[in-house]
């Protein structure tokens, strides 16, 4: 499996972050992605997220999950109120997304994390009136094409 590759687009006017990942996601690659994203001056921790994980294999251990929980605890003050929609299509993705959801909601009570099998369901959960489903769909498609190019 290839190392994690990620692309994202920030729709500032809609306060929405759209992310696509492919490859093997481990603790270091996940934390590196968060750090890279946080350094983008356009990004806000209050933006809602749609994250496509359909092409990801999680390579995490219980120790990694504990370290991630520790990371959340240490950074709890920087995370704002938001919705996070995770799009999955395999048991591996659902299991680790569920662990992420539980840790996130326990340590970040202002966040609502949900797991979906379709982009349309994720879009409906995020509920952005000023961004159409077509805009979101085209953005996800473009990000995925950039990842495999």
Amino acid 79: pLDDT: 65
| Domain count along the chain | 1
Residue numbers of the domain that contains 130: 5-148
User: What pLDDT digit, counting tens, does each position of 59-107 carry?
Assistant: 988 788 888 877 777 766 566 688 999 999 999 899 988 888 887 777 7
Between CA 131 and CA 48 the distance in angstroms is 12
pTM assigned to the model: 0.91
Joined tokens for residue 25: 């996601």
Distances (CA, A) of 36 to 88, 94, 95: 23, 25, 25
24 three-state secondary structure: strand
Q: Any idea what the Cα angle at residue 75 is, between residues 73 and 80, rounded to 5°?
A: 105
| Phi and psi at residue 129, to the nearest 5° | -75, -25
CATH number for the domain harbouring residue 43 = 3.30.750.24
User: What pLDDT digit, counting tens, does each position of 117-129 carry?
Assistant: 999 999 999 999 9
User: What pLDDT digit, counting tens, does each position of 17-45 carry?
Assistant: 999 999 999 999 998 998 899 899 999 88
Amino acid 125: pLDDT: 97
């Amino acid at each position: 499996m290839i190392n994690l590759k990620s692309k994202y687009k920030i729709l500032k006017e809609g306060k929405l972050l759209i992310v696509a990942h492919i490859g093997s996601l481990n603790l270091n690659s996940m934390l590196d992605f968060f750090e890279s994203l946080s350094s983008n001056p356009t990004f806000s921790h209050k933006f809602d997220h749609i994250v496509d994980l359909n092409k990801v294999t999680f390579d995490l251990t219980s120790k990694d999950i504990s370290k991630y929980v520790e990371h959340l605890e240490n950074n709890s003050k920087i995370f704002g109120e938001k919705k996070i929609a995770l799009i999955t299509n395999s048991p591996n993705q659902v299991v680790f997304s569920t662990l992420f959801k539980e840790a996130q909601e326990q340590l970040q009570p202002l966040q609502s994390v949900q797991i979906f099998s379709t982009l349309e369901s994720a879009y409906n959960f995020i509920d952005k009136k000023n961004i159409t489903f077509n805009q979101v769909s085209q953005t996800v498609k473009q990000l995925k094409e950039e990842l495999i190019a």
